[in-house]
């Protein structure tokens, strides 16, 4: 949905669900207008049967998909490849694929999806599997030591500053752009995301933002709502923290175990852990009039120790002091927090990527499928204006959804580009993974990926696949609202961004454990470390790239 259209609808006072109901018809409209290009309408009709078919593998409620399911989906979605590649065309070509190794997700899926592709084209792929926490370190090491030993790379947009800027990536051929139908991407994932200096590099396979997942039953359970005094989902961090503190001592209505409020992952995660502080801080720090919120765009001076960020850190510290987290939360891996705690019935809410929504209904581990609802990240009563140095209290609060990570994409490195045939093979594999139909499946089932195309927001397809209509409108709606939010906190794609994050989460861990005297001191330590990184990488170039990534130059 175009931001302009969205704004228009919002001004007319439409609720989110109305917007979404309208979305389907609007998609049809824009499809009709695009019919001149012949890109959307025709294939979409022909593919409808296929799309319905893959959504039945293995079917919602049938447990987690397995290797056989992935291979089947990969086989069925091979149509576009068959149109552009002759059978056996890539015989003898060997490709190396570096991606994330999440049990039964990411590379596990890619292997299954690409197996039929390998059989058809004759190419052979070997795999580099990385744990999420090792990802940034391994990538940096490859870049620094000149050991880029992979042809295809699964990578998030934030790393484009580290790779594309250094000329390590291969520009996307035009036929790939057509095959993956780039127009279908949601607006915020369109260029400049995926491009560098005007060249396109990325086959998007994922869209990212954090949304709030919250337990409805915590609002209707009489004992809990009696203690917290809340019957509607907390809208701001102030309410949320109050909720977390008041719920102490209550019992979870599902499991009977002690109930907890909001779950903040407190442990580092190779840089990814910093996003959870951002969830809190963006509400305080992202002022609608200013696209920058991490650094001062003119000097690269960190804003992480300004009053807004310090407030966010202080909030977490207060909750720790109040004992509002489950035992050992300080040592719980973030993944544990979402999937062993929240989905297994511990905690009232958390901010996470959208896949919690699809996992809640389709994963073996989840018990909260029927009692979870979604919304954009909480906002704040007051927002800090960095220009004036004053706190402001806008009417209705300040909301700034965190577009954490901008989604995974598949890229082809320069290593594959030497040989034209190999280059084509690499791009064909990438395009297969970023295919329009295949991505529908990945956004509907546990995959590690969330919806990222306009065509993913067609609720009829989801409903036919077995999803409950209201649930899916709620889940997809929270995603769409975040993607299209006018005050969304967009992540800068600058070199070394994950170094800033990893240092920050390391210092935060110390702060949360009481190694620094105060939130301010913790924030100052982060800021000092950030200044050092900026100097090491080069301040002037960082300023330029930071401004460019925010669209300020």
By CB under 8 A, the residues from 112 to 141 that bind another protein are 112, 115, 126-134, 137-138, 140-141
Does 346 interact with another protein (rule: CB under 8 A)? yes
Does 344 interact with another protein (rule: CB under 8 A)? yes
Residue 37 Cβ, how far from another protein at the closest point, in Å?
Answer: 36
Does 333 interact with another protein (rule: CB under 8 A)? yes
> In 3-state terms, what secondary structure has residue 261?
coil
CB atoms inside a 10 Å sphere around CB 323: 11
Instruction: Specify whether the CB–CB gap between 137 and 107 falls below 8 A.
Output: no
Over 388-447, what HEC string results?
CCEEECCCCCECCCECCCCCEEEEEEHHHHHCHHHHHHHHHHHHHHCCHHHHHHHHHCCC
> In 3-state terms, what secondary structure has residue 488?
coil
| Binding-site string for another protein from residue 15 to residue 44, where x marks contact by CB under 8 A and - marks none | ------------------------------
CB atoms inside a 10 Å sphere around CB 79: 13
> In 3-state terms, what secondary structure has residue 235?
coil
Size of the site for another protein (CB under 8 A): 88
CB nearer another protein, residue 46 or residue 367: 367
Whether residue 58 is preceded by a cis peptide bond, meaning omega within 30 degrees of 0, is yes
Distance CA 308, CA 315 (A): 11
Distance CA 303, CA 284 (A): 12
Distance CA 404, CA 279 (A): 9
Does 173 interact with another protein (rule: CB under 8 A)? no
Q: Which stretch binds another protein (CB under 8 A): 28-36, 355-363, 379-387, 420-428?
A: 355-363
* Residues 457 to 486 in contact with another protein, rule: CB under 8 A: none
Q: Which of 149, 370, 392, 460 binds another protein (CB under 8 A)?
A: 149
Does 524 interact with another protein (rule: CB under 8 A)? no
Residue 192 Cβ, how far from another protein at the closest point, in Å?
Answer: 20
b/e per residue 28-46 (b: at least 16 CB within 10 A): eebbeeeeeeebbbeebee
Does 533 interact with another protein (rule: CB under 8 A)? yes
Does 83 interact with another protein (rule: CB under 8 A)? no
Residue 173 Cβ, how far from another protein at the closest point, in Å?
Answer: 25
CB nearer another protein, residue 9 or residue 368: 368
Closest CA to 478 of 389, 351, 339, 387: 351
Does 101 interact with another protein (rule: CB under 8 A)? yes
* Residues 492 to 511 in contact with another protein, rule: CB under 8 A: 495-496, 499, 502-503, 505-506, 509-510
Does 338 interact with another protein (rule: CB under 8 A)? yes
Q: Which of 69, 154, 160, 162 binds another protein (CB under 8 A)?
A: 162
CB nearer another protein, residue 9 or residue 168: 168
Please spell the DSSP secondary structure of 375-391, one letter per residue. Answer: EEPPBBS-EEETTTTEE
Q: Which stretch binds another protein (CB under 8 A): 40-48, 282-290, 341-349, 462-470?
A: 341-349
Does 451 interact with another protein (rule: CB under 8 A)? no
């Amino acid at each position: 949905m175009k931001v302009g259209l969205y704004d228009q609808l919002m001004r007319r006072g439409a609720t989110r669900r109305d917007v979404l109901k309208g979305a389907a018809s609007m998609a049809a409209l824009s499809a009709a207008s695009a019919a001149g290009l012949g890109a959307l309408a025709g294939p979409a009709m022909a593919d409808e049967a296929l799309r319905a078919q893959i959504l039945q593998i293995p079917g919602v409620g049938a447990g987690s998909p397995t290797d056989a399911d992935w291979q089947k989906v990969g086989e069925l979605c091979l149509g576009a490849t068959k149109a552009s590649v002759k059978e056996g065309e890539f015989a003898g070509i060997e490709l190396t694929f570096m991606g994330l190794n999440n049990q039964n997700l990411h590379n596990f899926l890619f292997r299954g999806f690409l197996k039929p592709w390998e059989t058809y084209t004759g190419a052979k792929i070997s795999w580099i599997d990385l744990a999420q926490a090792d990802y940034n370190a391994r990538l940096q090491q490859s870049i620094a030591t000149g050991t880029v030993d992979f042809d295809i790379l699964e990578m998030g947009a934030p790393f484009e500053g580290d790779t594309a800027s250094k000329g390590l990536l291969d520009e996307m051929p035009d036929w790939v752009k057509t095959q993956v139908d780039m127009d279908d991407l949601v607006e915020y994932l369109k260029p400049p995301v995926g491009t560098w200096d005007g060249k396109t590099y990325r086959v998007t396979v994922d869209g990212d933002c954090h949304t709030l997942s919250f337990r409805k039953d915590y609002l209707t359970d009489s004992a809990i709502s009696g203690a917290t005094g809340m019957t509607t989902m907390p809208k701001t961090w102030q309410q949320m923290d109050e909720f977390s503190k008041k719920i102490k001592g209550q019992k979870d209505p599902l499991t009977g175990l002690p109930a907890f409020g909001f779950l903040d992952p407190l442990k580092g995660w190779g840089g990814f852990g910093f996003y959870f502080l951002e969830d809190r801080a963006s509400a305080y720090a992202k002022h609608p009039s200013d696209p920058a919120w991490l650094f001062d765009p003119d000097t690269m001076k960190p804003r992480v120790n300004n009053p807004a960020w310090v407030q966010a850190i202080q909030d977490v510290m207060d909750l720790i002091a109040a004992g509002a987290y489950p035992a050992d939360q300080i040592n719980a891996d973030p993944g544990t927090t979402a999937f062993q705690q929240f989905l297994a019935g511990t905690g009232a809410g958390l901010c996470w990527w959208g896949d919690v929504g699809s996992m809640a209904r389709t994963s073996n581990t989840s018990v909260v499928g029927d009692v979870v609802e979604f919304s954009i990240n909480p906002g704040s009563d007051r927002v800090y204006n960095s220009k004036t140095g004053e706190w402001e209290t806008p009417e209705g609060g300040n909301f700034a959804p965190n577009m954490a990570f901008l989604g995974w994409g598949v890229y082809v490195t320069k290593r594959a580009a030497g040989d034209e045939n190999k280059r084509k093979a690499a791009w064909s594999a990438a395009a297969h993974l970023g295919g329009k139909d295949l991505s529908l499946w990945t956004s509907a089932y546990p995959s590690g990926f969330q919806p990222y195309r306009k065509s993913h927001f067609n609720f009829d397809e989801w409903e036919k696949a077995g999803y409950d209509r209201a649930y899916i409108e709620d889940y997809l709606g929270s995603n769409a609202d975040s993607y299209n939010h006018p005050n969304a906190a967009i992540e800068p794609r600058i070199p070394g961004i994950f170094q800033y994050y990893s240092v920050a989460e390391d210092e935060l861990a110390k702060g949360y454990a009481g190694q620094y005297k105060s939130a301010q001191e913790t924030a100052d330590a982060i800021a000092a470390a950030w200044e050092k990184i900026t100097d090491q990488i080069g301040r002037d170039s960082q300023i330029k790239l930071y401004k460019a990534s925010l669209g300020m130059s």
